[in-house]
Amino acid sequence: MPHTLPAQPGMALADVDTPALLLDLDAFEHNLQRLNESLAGRKLMLRPHAKSHKCPQIALRQIALGAVGVCCQKVSEAEAMVEGGVPDVLVANEVVGAAKLRRLAALAKQAKVTVCADDAGNVRDIDAAAREFGVTIDVLVEVNVGANRCGVEPGEPALGIAQAIAACKNLRYAGLQAYQGGAQHLRKVDERRAAIAAAVDGVQRTLALIAKAGLPRGKVTGAGTGTYLFEAASQVYDELQVGSYIFMDADYAKNDWTESGIPRFEHSLFVWTTVMSRTRPDVAIVDAGLKASSVDSGMPRVADFPQAEFLKASDEHGVIRLNGASGFALGDKIRLIPGHCDPTVNLYDHYVCVRGARVEALWPITARGAVW
Amino acid sequence: MPHTLPAQPGMALADVDTPALLLDLDAFEHNLQRLNESLAGRKLMLRPHAKSHKCPQIALRQIALGAVGVCCQKVSEAEAMVEGGVPDVLVANEVVGAAKLRRLAALAKQAKVTVCADDAGNVRDIDAAAREFGVTIDVLVEVNVGANRCGVEPGEPALGIAQAIAACKNLRYAGLQAYQGGAQHLRKVDERRAAIAAAVDGVQRTLALIAKAGLPRGKVTGAGTGTYLFEAASQVYDELQVGSYIFMDADYAKNDWTESGIPRFEHSLFVWTTVMSRTRPDVAIVDAGLKASSVDSGMPRVADFPQAEFLKASDEHGVIRLNGASGFALGDKIRLIPGHCDPTVNLYDHYVCVRGARVEALWPITARGAVW
């Protein structure tokens, strides 16, 4: 129940009941540091994606270490970030419909707000909302650089939207949103490098047309944990939107990182679970299933017991084949590494932040469920 | 954000912002009715599973129509049900660990509480918690009748746990938990019928041993939406634990129902979503992804447009191939049928209850996130 806290600061981790979402603060802080080190000497803005963590406490730590603000994927997520003290949010996504656009424009009274567009009619709707609230909103053109989700094609179609933005009195054309989401989980370094090279090519063609049309350059923003050093090296991207680096989930860990230059981020996010049934040899049932760890990108991994395998999740149970691993007595608590961090975080109301074997803090996930 | 309501009673559905979780009240009430009709004339107790809906408003409606109480899967879920006015809960699962057992025993001061066990040490722990709180707790032996998750094997192992329960001063041996979860989604009627026949066989063997040992028979409880009429006809099951019949998700709809005798329950649960990008021919991007609809049992289906296909979900986007379907203009709102109802419900704080094209009520999902 939402009003029940999963732990208290000062508690021993062993006493934290399960399932709970653990954030290992040493690993988390190490990841923040390694990202900064990997970008040292480059003139790039960092704008981490808050859809991964949904937590102002984390956003403010990223900003304290130099980030210019955060990305969000939904207006409600942006509202939670601004309410939590974040002064600058980019909704790295389209916002469609009068009700949402009114909330976006109202938010622009309280914080710096930027949004993306890929449709001229939508651009006019954003302009109308901005006029109603007496604000000027920065708008980026979302360019489809290979993810084949939202966004217009590079070149003339992107220029068309840029011109539509520039023609609106209450909007400012602010540049290009060029996130290659399809590249992030390609396993081989060369595949990821090639996908970003193609994205850079589309961005450059678009920038040339935009310059020729007399529009300001604006910024180019994009990149994820799987590829960000390639965008950083491109001389074309100005801002990086990495999200998962703070947590490093089981799916990202399957990428080949050798010779990518990208640091080995550590797993910092865990699902804490109890062995709740041990009636069959070599099988342990744990109390974490689909409602405790998202399985869209594969099953969680069993941390600390490399040979044990999480086979199957039902609503409230996980089935682990031990493959001879010892431990796993009834009542034992173990850590799982989630398959996919973002939707797993969205299942919880708090991070139980641990340092070593002790709870140091509870950080509320205030944008949990903020999908609209 | 949790403090923001997704709609107001009286609103037109068209004005409800997206994503939102819709409950079609006509279809929901039809499903409640059809279940009762399908069991008319049988002397069976009905104890619907609240892990599907997590909502006391729904539990109380089920009880008003004759259910003896509800099942829950976790103590926190049971707490939410009792807090919402439900007088009788069965935790149809093992509860392991002193902290949880203390909460369970405390709850037994406020409501009738039953729990399952599959381990003699755990039985002693339940007894200790019951003694501490001065309550008597009913305990069922969970028997593995083919789901291969929790539970002891039928026959001697089950008898052993029953005797361990009966030997405890603060516990009452209450019967067998015999849920064949593995049978529910077998597509063919004959496969499901055969799986339940095997389960019934194991239960009967166990009951014979229990009678021979001089223990009271207790009740036999189990069954799900995919098979419940087979358990009902077995003369062995006393209580049915159906859950999904109220919603009927896309995965259950793939079962063959012909000649099962089980009524055609209607889809009553929908994810309400907006078309947010239309830059490519025959493809619409909607604002409902992994955080709006669980995909563990397959993608959602597009309601009302049979030829359109939901291809892919990312965190906050869904990709729909239209296959020539018209409609789907930018800003249009459509309904999705979730692939799996239980974990989808767990993503939301409210049902937006609609009758026709108007919002009639908001029902809080108070056990959302209640995984511990």
Mean pLDDT of all residues in A360-368: 98
Q: Which residue has the tokens 């979302």?
A: A142
* Domain coordinates in residue numbering, chain A: 13-21+266-364, 39-248
Which residues of B, range 224-253, sit inside 8 Å of A by Cβ?
Answer: none
For residues A22 and A351, is the Cβ–Cβ distance under 8 A?
yes
| CATH code given to domain A13-21+266-364 | 2.40.37.20
Inform me whether the pLDDT recorded for B3 exceeds 80: no
CATH topology of domain A39-248: TIM Barrel (3.20.20)
Per-residue pLDDT at B366: 97
- To the nearest whole Å, the CA of B82 is away from the closest chain A CA by 12
Distance of CA A188 to the CA centre of its chain: 21
In tens, the pLDDT along A44-74 reads: 999 999 999 999 999 999 999 999 999 999 9
Are the C-beta atoms of B230 and B192 separated by less than 8 Å?
yes
A289: closest CA among A279, A281, A280, A277? Answer: A277
The residue count of chain A comes to 372
The pLDDT tens digits for B35-79 are 999 999 999 999 999 999 999 999 999 999 999 999 999 999 999
Residue range A6-31: mean pLDDT, rounded: 98
The token duo for B150 is 């929790």
Strands (E), chain B: 20-24, 45-46, 70-72, 88-94, 112-117, 137-142, 171-177, 219-222, 239-240, 269-277, 283-286, 301-302, 309-313, 318-321, 333-337, 350-355, 358-364
Q: Which segments of B39-188 does DSSP mark as H helices, in order?
A: 56-64, 75-83, 98-107, 120-133, 156-166
Average pLDDT over residues A84-110: 98
pLDDT at A301 over 90: yes
A39-248 matches A13-21+266-364 in CATH topology: no
Flag whether pLDDT at A3 surpasses 60.
Answer: no
In chain B, pLDDT over 90 holds for what percent of residues?
98
Q: Does B332 lie at the interface with A, CB-CB under 8 angstroms?
A: no
Read off the pLDDT of each residue in B199-227 and give the average, rounded to a whole number: 98
pLDDT attached to residue B299: 97
Q: How many helices (H) and strands (E) does chain B have?
A: 10, 17
Share of chain A above pLDDT 90, in %: 97
B276 vs A contacts (CB less than 8 Å): 93-96, 150
Q: Does B370 touch chain A (CB under 8 A)?
A: yes
State which residue of chain B sits closest to A19, comparing Cα positions: B372
State the DSSP string of A272-334: EEEEEE--STTEEEES--TTTS--TT-PPEETT-TT-EEEEE-SS-EEEE-TT-----TT-EE
Cβ–Cβ under 8 Å, residues B321 and B262:
no
Nearest-angstrom CA–CA distance, A50 and A56: 8
pLDDT at B88 over 80: yes
Closest in A17, A80, A294 to B290, CB measured: A294
Least confident of B134-138, B164-168, B252-256: B252-256
* Average pLDDT taken over every residue of chain A: 97
pLDDT bin (cut points 50, 70, 90) of residue B2 is: very low
Query: Measured between alpha carbons, how far is B102 from B97 in angstroms, rounded to an integer?
Result: 9
ipTM of the complex: 0.96
CB spacing of B343 vs A20 below 8 angstroms: no
Query: What pLDDT shows up at residue A325?
Result: 94
Inform me whether the pLDDT recorded for A1 exceeds 60. no
pLDDT score recorded for residue A297 = 94
Mean confidence (pLDDT) of chain B = 97
With beta carbons less than 8 A apart as the criterion, state whether A274 and A80 touch.
Answer: no
Nearest by Cα to A210 from A140, A122, A145, A127: A140
Nearest by CB to residue B277, choosing from A94, A99, A280, is A94
Which residue in A has a C-alpha nearest to residue B344's C-alpha?
A291
Give the span between the Cα atoms of B9 and A347, in whole angstroms: 27
In angstroms, rounded to a whole number, what is the distance separating the alpha carbons of residues B127 and B244? Answer: 33
Residue A2 has pLDDT above 60, yes or no: no
What does the pLDDT average to over A254-270? 93
| CATH architecture of the domain covering B13-21+267-364 | Beta Barrel (2.40)
Among A277, A296, A342, A351, the residue to mutate for chain B (most B Cβ within 10 A): A277
Q: Could A1 and B347 be called an inter-chain contact, meaning their C-beta atoms sit closer than 8 Å?
A: no
User: Residue range B304-326: average pLDDT?
Assistant: 97
pTM to 2 decimal places? 0.97
Neighbours of A264 (CB within 10 A): 11
- B212: Cβ contacts below 8 Å, ≥ 6 apart: none
Question: How much of chain B exceeds pLDDT 70, in percent?
Answer: 99
Give the residue-averaged pLDDT of A321-345. 97
- Write down the pLDDT at residue B156: 98
Scan residues 277-316 of A and list those with Cβ closer than 8 Å to B: 277-280, 285, 287-288, 290-292, 294-296, 313-316
- In terms of phi and psi (left: phi > 0; alpha: psi -120 to 50; beta: otherwise), the region of B137 is beta
Burial of A42 (C-beta count, 10 Å sphere; 0-12/13-18/19+): exposed
Question: With contacts defined as CB-CB under 8 Å, which chain B residues touch A153?
Answer: 279
The residue type at B303:
A
